[in-house]
């Protein structure tokens, strides 16, 4: 199959992208400690992958309370902002565009990670869910610990978190990011508000579909007010149920949220699609309906082959295709696709999360020649 559309340039609002390859957000836990500060090694990593039309960074906590995994970077201190400037400078120098993913994990956390009790829409523990720390007991590997029971968020908590997202967006702008992505997927805080099984509030943030999207909409409006709608995207995961997030009403909720996000005018919706072998496929009917209700850019990410991405682009069901692991191991992934070249595979699974050096991070080779 000829791969053509993936290499077409694309205009996302006012942002010119050189192709339709998107490097998907992938947690790598390489920030400098203490302080969860981005660093020069991370700058090298992202700079190597600037051949993507757009890079979305790893999930980045908007506050210490929003942190759920060890050594993930933040965007709420001056030192973190200065660290991120290293990354944006390197990506822009290499001709790339980069958005920062704004993240609050909500109930998917433990006091062993950040010293704080998790917060969530309701005081419901995510069953069969773990997070990781580095405690020196596993030869440098991450040690997984169960999440703890959260406390239900007060109105004051809700307002504070919304302000944290807004401040994080300002900080991202100061760090010279091309935009920000609000993480509303994968069982984290915003997704917890969207789902009826994790959100059992009986106030204006719960009970009805309209109420359950309220937190997402308020966060989005607050972020847009600070950086402009053309610089804001939202990530959603309608078909992903892990982290105890199985909600039979979620598709209706997601579709209503997308309608409202269209009215607000966000730059894109980023669909996080399941990436394991027997994962559910997103039905074509869902994609068609989404295209009808949302008028701006649609991104699909989820272990797709270039051929699958090409078909989605050709059918005009999406506009950009996200690739994760392929960019992780192949910094020159678009060129390898163009030449139908062999791909690097993951060299050592132990280096996926954590590690203080280049091994399994910036040492994956480019093609020769």
Q: How far is CA 12 from CA 51, 178, 268, in A?
A: 17, 11, 8
Report yes or no on 360 lying in a domain.
Answer: no
Phi, psi of 354 (to 5 degrees): 85, 180
Q: How many residues belong to the chain? A: 369
The pLDDT of residue 332 is 98
- Contact status, residue 108 vs residue 188, Cβ threshold 8 Å: yes
In the 3-class helix/strand/coil scheme, how is 225-241 assigned residue by residue? HHHCHHHEEEEECCCCC
* pLDDT above 80 for 278: no
pTM: 0.98
360/347 Cα distance (integer angstroms):
6
The pLDDT of residue 274 is 77
**Which comes out higher in pLDDT, residue 63 or 135?**
63
Model confidence at 356, pLDDT cuts 50, 70, 90, reads confident
140/33 Cα distance (integer angstroms):
15
Among 33-42, 193-202, 339-348, 351-360, name the one with the lowest average pLDDT.
Answer: 351-360
Report yes or no on 230 lying in a domain.
Answer: yes
CB atoms within 10 A of CB 33: 10
Model confidence at 369, pLDDT cuts 50, 70, 90, reads low
61/29 Cα distance (integer angstroms):
12
* Domain membership of residue 319 as a residue range: 5-351
The pLDDT of residue 270 is 98
pLDDT digits (tens, 9 = 90+) for 141-152: 899 999 999 999
**Which comes out higher in pLDDT, residue 357 or 46?**
46
The pLDDT of residue 180 is 99
Is the preceding peptide bond at 34 cis, omega within 30 degrees of 0? yes
* pLDDT above 80 for 276: no
Report yes or no on 50 lying in a domain.
Answer: yes
Residue bearing tokens 């400098």 = 32
- Contact status, residue 121 vs residue 152, Cβ threshold 8 Å: yes
DSSP 368: P
Query: Tokens representing 81?
Result: 């902002």
Report yes or no on 364 lying in a domain.
Answer: no
User: Is residue 136 classed exposed, middle or buried when 0-12, 13-18 and 19+ CB atoms within 10 A define those classes?
Assistant: exposed
pLDDT digits (tens, 9 = 90+) for 77-97: 999 999 999 999 999 999 999
Helix (H) or strand (E) holding 367: none
DSSP 325: H
Nearest Cα residue to 278 out of 239, 328, 320: 239
Mean pLDDT of the region 234-239: 96
Phi, psi of 236 (to 5 degrees): -135, 155
* pLDDT above 70 for 104: yes
Torsional class of 13: left (φ above 0), alpha (ψ -120 to 50), beta (otherwise): left
* pLDDT above 70 for 277: no
Phi, psi of 212 (to 5 degrees): -70, -25
- Mark out the alpha helices in the chain (DSSP H runs): 40-48, 78-93, 111-114, 155-174, 189-194, 209-212, 214-227, 250-264, 284-293, 306-314, 325-329, 333-338
Report yes or no on 280 lying in a domain.
Answer: yes
Report yes or no on 213 lying in a domain.
Answer: yes
The pLDDT of residue 64 is 98
Torsion over CA: 318, 319, 324, 325 (sign):
positive
The pLDDT of residue 282 is 87
- Name, of 53-62, 133-142, 234-243, the range with top average pLDDT: 53-62
* pLDDT above 90 for 275: no
Mean pLDDT of the chain: 96
Residues with a known catalytic role: 188
The tally of domains found in the chain comes to: 1
Nearest Cα residue to 266 out of 300, 222, 301: 222
The pLDDT of residue 279 is 62
CATH at residue 164:
3.20.20.70
Report yes or no on 135 lying in a domain.
Answer: yes
pLDDT digits (tens, 9 = 90+) for 296-328: 999 999 989 999 999 999 999 999 999 999 999
The pLDDT of residue 355 is 78
182/195 Cα distance (integer angstroms):
17
The pLDDT of residue 118 is 98
Query: Tokens representing 146?
Result: 């169960």
């Amino acid at each position: 199959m000829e791969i053509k559309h993936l290499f077409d340039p694309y205009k996302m609002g006012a942002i010119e992208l050189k192709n339709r390859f998107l490097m998907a957000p992938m947690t790598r836990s390489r920030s400098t400690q203490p302080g969860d500060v981005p660093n020069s090694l991370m700058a090298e990593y992202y700079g190597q992958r600037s051949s993507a039309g757009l890079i979305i960074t790893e999930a980045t906590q908007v506050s210490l309370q929003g942190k759920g995994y060890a050594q993930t970077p933040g965007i709420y201190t001056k030192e973190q902002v200065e660290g991120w400037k290293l990354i944006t400078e390197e990506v822009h120098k290499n001709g790339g565009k980069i958005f920062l993913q704004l993240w609050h994990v909500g109930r998917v956390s433990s006091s062993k990670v950040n010293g704080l009790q998790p917060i969530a829409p309701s005081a419901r523990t995510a069953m069969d869910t773990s997070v990781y720390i580095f405690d020196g007991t596993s030869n440098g590997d991450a040690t997984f610990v169960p999440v703890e029971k959260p406390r239900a968020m007060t109105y004051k908590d809700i307002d504070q978190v919304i302000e944290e997202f807004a401040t994080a967006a300002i900080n991202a702008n100061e760090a010279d990011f091309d935009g920000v992505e609000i993480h509303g997927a994968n069982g984290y805080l915003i997704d917890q508000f969207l789902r009826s099984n994790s959100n059992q509030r009986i106030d204006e943030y719960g009970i009805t579909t309209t109420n359950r999207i309220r937190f997402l909409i308020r966060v989005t409006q607050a972020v847009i007010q600070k950086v402009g709608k053309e610089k804001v995207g939202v990530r959603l995961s309608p078909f992903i149920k892990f982290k105890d997030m199985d909600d039979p009403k979620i598709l209706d909720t997601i579709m209503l949220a997308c309608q409202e996000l269209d009215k607000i005018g966000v730059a894109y919706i980023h669909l996080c699609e399941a990436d394991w072998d027997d994962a559910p496929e997103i039905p074509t009917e869902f994609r068609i309906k989404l295209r009808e209700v949302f008028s701006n850019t649609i991104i699909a990410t989820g272990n797709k082959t270039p051929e699958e991405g090409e078909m989605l682009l050709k059918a005009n069901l999406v506009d950009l295709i996200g690739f994760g692991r392929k960019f992780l191991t192949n910094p020159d992934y678009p060129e390898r696709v163009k030449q139908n070249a062999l791909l690097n595979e993951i060299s050592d699974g132990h280096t996926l999360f954590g590690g203080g050096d280049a091994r399994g991070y910036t040492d994956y080779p480019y093609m020769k020649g």
